[in-house]
A = this chain, B = another copy of it.
Amino acid sequence: MTVTLADVAARARVSPATVSRVLNGNYPVAASTRERVLRAVDDLDYVLNGPASSLAAATSDLVGILVNDIADPFFGIMAGAAQTEIGGPGDGSGRAGGEKLAVVCNTGGSPARELTYLTLLQRQRAAAVILTGGAVEDPAHQAAMAAKLAKLADAGTRVVLCGRPPLPEGEAVVAALAFDNRGGGRRLTEHLLSLGHRRIGYVAGPVERTTTRHRLEGHRDAMAAAGLYGDDTTAEGRLANARDENRLTVHGPYDRRSGYDATLELLRREPEVTAIIAANDTVALGASAAIRDRGLRIPEDISVAGFDDLPFSVDAVPALTTVRLPLFEAGARAGRLAMGKETPPPGGIATIAAELMVRGSTAPPRK
């Protein structure tokens, strides 16, 4: 039924070993022989049996890219960029040079699925794995992840982190590319502060994610530095600060709906808010909708800012002030790292700068 190596060998009147060598191209084969084999491959429309090949060679050409949400361009852009560096041009049959099959796996943000995919990739003896996006901070899960990644690395799988903080132990991975979420959050807040805002609402992402925490920390650092939170070190002062922080922060998932609902809640809690920072651009879109639905104008009544600078953000009306993350570049770099085409940064860790993009959605508060 299906054509095998042996069939090709028979037709080319050589041994299976020779066919294998022609296909893999890592052993000298006379030009005339090679040609004969190639013709036989073509004639028979032969396609290598991947599992058999992986079994015998103890490696596969699978590269896994784990993302939290495939419907979110934030991940799509990184994954796409990584893939451009991984998938070779391909010749359609036989086995091409350094060609790898880059596949993206959607964890949906679930720790369990993250682990499951890692096991599945381990089972396939994947050549490399790229993990994108923030990690979940649950200690048990982190330990499980670290163990799993260590095992993968042990088995020869290259592990690259992209847009995710380095592992606590840090040794198991080829490289970690982390976004400067903290710095971005700080600069964004400083921008708002410099415009004169004082009551700033914060629509944060899910509590348990590192990304959420880092952006929020940057924000609070800036607020504290401006004497808005945390400067009063007396006992009551501290309490008041904490209350304020909590009152002006609402957590929720990274989606539009959450931005809408959280903004309504923020407006209820503190009608005097003059600016709202959203966990990311998608959330900012929802926040903007809520503000408009309340009959308020952006930025005259309330300023809005996002994070990530996704492609649609510049087209929002007014254009969204946000923090630009070089998603494509980071993804491409992760792809190269995974392929061993680029040497890892010193210590295996690189921080990727976040750039503030000031646009029309932020302006000085009215009063």
Contact = CB atoms under 8 A, between A and B. Distances in A.
How many residues of A sit at the interface, in one of the four size bands?
35 or more
B105 A117 contact: no
Contact of A124 (B51, B91, B151): B51
A125 interface: yes
A108 interface: yes
A103 B64 CA distance: 8
Contact of A104 (B49, B72, B103): B103
A83 to B, nearest CB: 5
A299 B64 CA distance: 45
A71 B60 contact: no
A317 interface: yes
Contact of A106 (B60, B104, B117, B256): B104
A84 B106 CA distance: 9
Contact of A47 (B51, B60, B79, B119): B119
Copies held by the complex: 2
Contacts of A112: 89-90, 92
A80 B255 CA distance: 15
A80 to B, nearest CB: 5
B80 A101 contact: no
Contacts of A256: 311-312, 315
A76 B282 CA distance: 15
Interface stretch (A173-181, A217-225, A285-293): A285-293
A8 to B, nearest CB: 14
Contacts of A55: 49, 51-52, 55
Interface in A44-95: 45, 47-55, 60-62, 64, 69-73, 76-77, 79-80, 83-84, 87, 89-93
A47 B71 CA distance: 30
A123 interface: yes
A72 B312 CA distance: 11
